[in-house]
Structure 1
Amino acid sequence: MSSELVIVYHRQPYEEVEVDGRIEYRENKSPNGIVPTLKSFFGKVKNASWVAWKEAEDTSNPGFDRVVHIEDSFGKYTVSRLPLTKEQVSSFYHVTSKEAFWPILHGFKEKYNYDPVDWPTFREVNWAFAEAAAAEAAQGASVWVHDYNLWLVPGYLRQLRPDVRISFYHHTPFPSADMFNVLPWRGEIIDSLLAADVVGFHIPRYAANFVSCVRSQHDVGNVPRVRVPDDLVTEGSALSDRTVPTEIHMSDGHVVHLGVTPVGVDVDYIDGLAASDETAELAKRFRAEVGDGKMLLSVGRTDYTKGGADQLLAFERLLERRPDLHEQVRLLHVSVSANRAMTVYEPIQKELEEIAGRINGRFGSFSFQPVALISRAVPFEELVAWYQVSDVAWITPLADGMNLVCKEFISARRDGDGVLVLSEFAGAAVELGAAVMTNPFSSRAMDHAIDLAIDMPEDERRARMKLLRAAVAKRDTHHWAADQLALLSPKDFGDDSGAAA
């Protein structure tokens, strides 16, 4: 049955569990995140579908149903699963997307690796996604494509189905032209994105960067801009812009709308979890383990963009210059491998372990270790309890499209206390001006920020947290999805659209 809404995203929207030799499809354990947010819109249309990949040894005979019909709390929908070989996944995702695109998107030219890229395979996989979306979409349907590993889908889909409306959302930063144009496939990528009706971004800066890339390849004339709302401008932030472009007019009459909406978190879900008796018990146990000293928390992936080593070095400097904090401050540093199949992250993990070990050797004792380095995924329920126990959330990536950890921390602080130290190079910085902003490229700035956070009086902590909680509640996951879909198809999903709502 044809679908009015097709979501194209690499992940399947459920968990597969084998029970007595049969595969059962179960809802994701945590309802927090992008996947359940996207699925929430399935209940607003009569027929909906999802396109994702699934690994197979033989794509012609994958050993699983290509199309499955799901019914869960979000409604009834179809999942079209593309069988990709292990080699295709490695080439298209681990190599081309992560080793070529990822460093450029985040401004790390020195990490860019062109040599192993197999561009024909990237095209092939994107074409398969476009074909699957075309097969699922009803006449005039809305197709919502997600993230940079599917850059070519809009262009291919426009060739296959000129009748559908296409939106593409970037979950990463979008770099300026002098960075993006390092990619030899830049023309093909930009032309594909310009085939969409809507291209979405987290913040105004990324939309402006996209326009600069388009201008480097096409004469698009005047690009209208509007004023950015005051609550999306943080004074002194590296990523704040005062105006934002709203649409690009192509010479053939096609108009590409630029939708700017920061991704949020499910505030109600996190608040409910934070208020539960189970979380209260966990938080009580964690606080007993920590004791009366200050607790700093850092959560991220093991990735060069996250600045984990720089943060650990800043913590080492803190202990060097402040003997009064010896055995009085701890850092819980959670750094989870993005993908264990990718050896590119192994040196980063090794460096983190070496620095943490040195700090514990220098400043630890038999009964006290200042750094706890956690390299496994922490269950979300436990993470919320740690958010409540921590005095400071220390989130200082070198580059980050948005960063939802800082928003989770804020949502979990029902007590109205706690301090957020945030990199001005995280997209979230443009919304969260009440955080203690810092420049992770500056040792002096990092040192000043962590001192300020540790020593901040309670009345200032609470005043800042009140502003932060209001900002996060205003732009939660539901606001983000509604705003983006309203741009794509107002008649189906509401009319609360806006260039920078």
Structure 2
Amino acid sequence: MTSPGPDDLYVDQAYDMVVVSNRLPVDYREGDDGSTQWKSSPGGLVTALEPVMRAADGAWIGWAGVADREFDPFEHDGISIIPVPLSSAEIEEYYEGFSNDTLWPLYHDVIAPPSFHREWWDAYVRVNRRFAEAAARAAAEGGVVWVQDYQLQLVPRMLRETRPDLVIGFFNHIPFPAYGIYSQLPWRRQVVEGLLGADVIGFQRAADAGNFSRAVRRLFGYTTRGTVIDVPDDEGGVRRVVARHFPISIDAAGFEEIARRPDVQERARRIREDLGNPRTIFLGVDRLDYTKGIRHRLKAFGELLRDDRLQVEDATLVQVASPSRERVETYRQLRDEIELTVGRLNGDHSTLGHQAIAYLHHGYPREEMVALYLAADVMLVTALRDGMNLVAKEYVACRFDGDGVLLLSEFTGASDELRQAVLVNPHDIEGLKDAMIEAVEMPKKERARRMRALRKRVRDNDVANWSATFLKALTGSGQVAAGIPDQLQGAIAALAETDRLLVALDFDGTLAPLVDRPEDARATERALAAIHRLAAIDDTRVAIVSGRALDSLGEVAEPPAGTMLSGSHGVELKLDTGPIQLDLRDAELTTLDRLTSIVETVAGSAEGAWIERKPAGIALHTRRLSAADGLALQQQARREVNTELLGITVRAGKSVLEFAVRSSDKGESLQRLRQHVGASGVLYVGDDVTDEDAFAVLEGTDVGVKVGQGKSLAAHRVRSPEEVSELLERLAEAREHTSGGASGWS
């Protein structure tokens, strides 16, 4: 395979949200008939970003895991997939070489010596540019691109150079070293410059973000203030870059859901039985990597057996070491060393009925891992350096029984959060041995107290909260100024001169401030007065376009006579000629009944959540919950609905997730309204993600106005419903001056 050029990665659609990572969230499989098949490879990142990407029409860019093969873009489970090809030579030099034999050991405090080769660097630059070019082609105007991890540190700057309109984020999943270590990298300036192309750079720990800011000061002398770095731009101004920690987490609810399954609990019981029902099962779960401290825990366990502080009849160590980078010599040597140590310890201490160490050099499906977590009395996480270590959080999430002890290295990012674990320095073998005995002998009441605190922390800071927090910093950090911007005033003045004007307005958050109880929402008096003025002007029609059911919208909006209403995202319409009846088919009614039952059950599990019934669907409201709890509940509802029902339309809004048995959106509704009244110009104002469908169908001199913060297709923006009222007043005034007094509607 020859290296592809910039035009070889054809993308025929622009996406509002693009995630770029070394690997795609799917694995390639070749069918028995030679066909191409794709299987999801779910992980924490996919779980966190899937609902965001669906809502934002997202695409995922990455390598398919097969060298010397090119694949066309495709869709998988509702997410657009854009594969980037890599040659065998590039895998060897960019991935196995520079990424994993230069950056990985350097960023992990040189636990193993890094290698520096110029040809590896050249391949790293070349591959990063290919990923950046793919993202530049895929991203829509003003879109969001979120780049993941150390393999792609040059992409942000490359992307900014070609697409300055984009909002660019970067998250580093591994540590960032102190400058004394980082400075060894011959290409230290180029890597930092690459990262500074992002608007927000995320790290696992505050210490990592601090290390990065210090590297920026040492290398470039840029001003840093807290988490903000002032980066000079090409026009002589300053671009502010945020570099701060966003500790990643897991789908805690998903792990607990598996752990509560009877078949998984039965499997955990059988695991203990197969191991001889020892008093204590120690468990280590790691990728086979020199940063994980596997040798240290084996040494400590062996000495405890040697010194009779533990007996092999009472204690077993289960070590899962999944294969990793086995073409890299350092990793081959590590595997040989670990397996020799395991063999020696088993030879010295095992009996016919009791094995000292159960060593498993392969991966397991998630259900089997959860069963192991439930079976283990003590979880050993002894990493010498780790960005986070999600295994620690997985163990905690699975222990709904309130039992088990987490022994955790203080050199992991997880130790910043999980302070109720037994914290250890894995280099201190005597201290590690004492901590293992402490875990074995810990009273049940103390185990329960610690686990209760750990579980609360993991639940409150799950992966949904992580992605929401990062994306809020990336897309919602800027403040919208008060008043009507000059550019918007000009657009309104021009629109006022159109022959036939349609003014289409969202309700909640646009005409009415958001409230906890939907039935309490009311448009501001200024907005209602302006709507009455517009509705009375010749050649002007007003429509309120909402996700609310039509009956609810009519009650709270108090619209003037002649105002058209669109409810349930366009499923229901009330035109000036009368309502259009909605008649669901029998199959749709049956599906709606089951859908309602599922969502009601989910809502009933969380205090503060409530449901809203609609003629063709149901909405789950989570506004009264914390952001993390709300996202988790929405993910649970989405999972349960998708598992049982087919053909359901799912739509995410502000603290609400809506399900419908008949599909429509505000864009379709706006097009029907435009066609019905024959409008030559349209103003659409909205504040929600669901309003983006309407902004997408605006054309020509139409005007779209986004209310509040957040990425939007709308060309204009105001701060709040108060500014919407002022906007409508100005439009009414301009329209009254330009209207000829005689109706232009046929």
TM-score by length of 2: 0.60
1:270 corresponds to: 255
Residue type of the partner of 1:489? T
1:255 corresponds to: 240
CA contact (8 A) 2:111 2:291 kept: no
1:406 aligns with 2:372: no
Alignment of 1:16-27 (within 5 A): 16-19=28-31, 20-27=33-40
Residues 55, 446 of structure 1: alpha-carbon distance in 2 compared, 3 angstrom cutoff = closer
Residues 204-259 of structure 1: CA deviation (Å, up to 9, x unaligned): 111101111111112223x333xxxxxxxxxxxxxxxxxxxx21112331100124
1:446 corresponds to: 432
CA contact (8 A) 2:158 2:194 kept: yes
CA contact (8 A) 2:304 2:310 kept: no
Question: Matched residues in 1 for 2:321 and 2:61: separation?
Answer: 30
Question: Matched residues in 1 for 2:214 and 2:202: separation?
Answer: 15
2:100 corresponds to: 98
1:34 corresponds to: 45
1:319 aligns with 2:305: yes
Range with greater deviation from structure 2 (101-110 or 188-197): 101-110
1:168 corresponds to: 170
Question: Matched residues in 2 for 1:183 and 1:253: separation?
Answer: 27
Instruction: Determine which structure has greater relative contact order: mean sequence separation of CA pairs < 8 Å that are 6+ residues apart, divided by chain length.
Output: 1
Question: Matched residues in 2 for 1:182 and 1:475: separation?
Answer: 35
Alignment of 1:92-491 (within 5 A): 92-108=94-110, 111-115=113-117, 117-221=119-223, 223-225=224-226, 246-251=227-232, 252-290=237-275, 291-323=277-309, 325-490=311-476
Residue type of the partner of 1:53? W
Q: Helix, strand or coil for the counterpart of 1:254?
A: strand
Question: Matched residues in 1 for 2:124 and 2:334: separation?
Answer: 27
Residue type of the partner of 1:149? Q
CA contact (8 A) 1:300 1:336 kept: yes
Question: Matched residues in 2 for 1:374 and 1:154: separation?
Answer: 39
1:242 corresponds to: none
Residues 405, 341 of structure 1: alpha-carbon distance in 2 compared, 3 angstrom cutoff = same
CA contact (8 A) 2:136 2:159 kept: yes
Residues 214, 324 of structure 1: alpha-carbon distance in 2 compared, 3 angstrom cutoff = closer
Q: Helix, strand or coil for the counterpart of 2:181?
A: helix
Residues 186, 314 of structure 1: alpha-carbon distance in 2 compared, 3 angstrom cutoff = same
Residues 401-447 of structure 1: CA deviation (Å, up to 9, x unaligned): 00000100000101000000000001100000000000011112111
Residues 105-134 of structure 1: CA deviation (Å, up to 9, x unaligned): 000165111147522111110000000000
Residue type of the partner of 2:27? E
Residues 82, 471 of structure 1: alpha-carbon distance in 2 compared, 3 angstrom cutoff = same
2:60 corresponds to: 50
Residue type of the partner of 1:18? E
Q: Helix, strand or coil for the counterpart of 1:40?
A: helix
CA contact (8 A) 1:486 1:495 kept: no
CA contact (8 A) 2:147 2:155 kept: yes
Residue 48 (structure 1) shift: 1.5
CA contact (8 A) 1:305 1:400 kept: yes
Q: Helix, strand or coil for the counterpart of 2:333?
A: helix
1:86 corresponds to: 88
CA contact (8 A) 2:26 2:64 kept: no
Residue 475 (structure 1) shift: 1.0
Residue 355 (structure 1) shift: 1.3
Residue type of the partner of 1:132? A
CA contact (8 A) 2:282 2:317 kept: yes
Q: Helix, strand or coil for the counterpart of 1:378?
A: coil
Residues 120, 166 of structure 1: alpha-carbon distance in 2 compared, 3 angstrom cutoff = same
1:238 corresponds to: none
Residues 356, 198 of structure 1: alpha-carbon distance in 2 compared, 3 angstrom cutoff = same
Question: Matched residues in 2 for 1:336 and 1:57: separation?
Answer: 22
Structure 1 unmatched ranges of 5 or more: 226-245, 497-501
Question: Matched residues in 2 for 1:324 and 1:487: separation?
Answer: 50
Residue 301 (structure 1) shift: 1.4
Question: Matched residues in 1 for 2:326 and 2:102: separation?
Answer: 18
Residue type of the partner of 1:416? G
1:237 corresponds to: none
2:21 corresponds to: 9
Q: Helix, strand or coil for the counterpart of 1:216?
A: helix
Question: Matched residues in 2 for 1:323 and 1:402: separation?
Answer: 31
Residues 277, 109 of structure 1: alpha-carbon distance in 2 compared, 3 angstrom cutoff = closer
CA contact (8 A) 1:297 1:392 kept: yes
1:64 aligns with 2:75: no
Residues 358-404 of structure 1: CA deviation (Å, up to 9, x unaligned): 11111111221111111111222111011111110011000000000
CA contact (8 A) 1:283 1:385 kept: yes
Question: Matched residues in 2 for 1:324 and 1:207: separation?
Answer: 41
Q: Helix, strand or coil for the counterpart of 2:80?
A: strand
Question: Matched residues in 2 for 1:346 and 1:495: separation?
Answer: 51
Residue 15 (structure 1) shift: 3.0
Q: Helix, strand or coil for the counterpart of 1:408?
A: helix
1:229 corresponds to: none
Q: Helix, strand or coil for the counterpart of 2:389?
A: coil
Residues 110, 363 of structure 1: alpha-carbon distance in 2 compared, 3 angstrom cutoff = closer
Residues 295, 191 of structure 1: alpha-carbon distance in 2 compared, 3 angstrom cutoff = same
Range with greater deviation from structure 2 (450-459 or 252-261): 252-261
Question: Matched residues in 2 for 1:402 and 1:323: separation?
Answer: 31
Q: Helix, strand or coil for the counterpart of 1:179?
A: helix
Identity %: 35
Residue 293 (structure 1) shift: 1.9
Question: Matched residues in 1 for 2:207 and 2:431: separation?
Answer: 23
Question: Matched residues in 2 for 1:264 and 1:324: separation?
Answer: 34
Q: Helix, strand or coil for the counterpart of 1:7?
A: strand
CA contact (8 A) 2:47 2:251 kept: no
CA contact (8 A) 2:300 2:430 kept: no
Residue 323 (structure 1) shift: 5.0
Question: Matched residues in 2 for 1:312 and 1:171: separation?
Answer: 27
Residue 324 (structure 1) shift: 5.3
Residues 199, 284 of structure 1: alpha-carbon distance in 2 compared, 3 angstrom cutoff = same
Residues 89, 387 of structure 1: alpha-carbon distance in 2 compared, 3 angstrom cutoff = same
Question: Matched residues in 1 for 2:381 and 2:441: separation?
Answer: 18
CA contact (8 A) 1:32 1:269 kept: no
Task: Decide which structure has the larger Cα Rg and report it.
Answer: 2
Range with greater deviation from structure 2 (251-260 or 170-179): 251-260
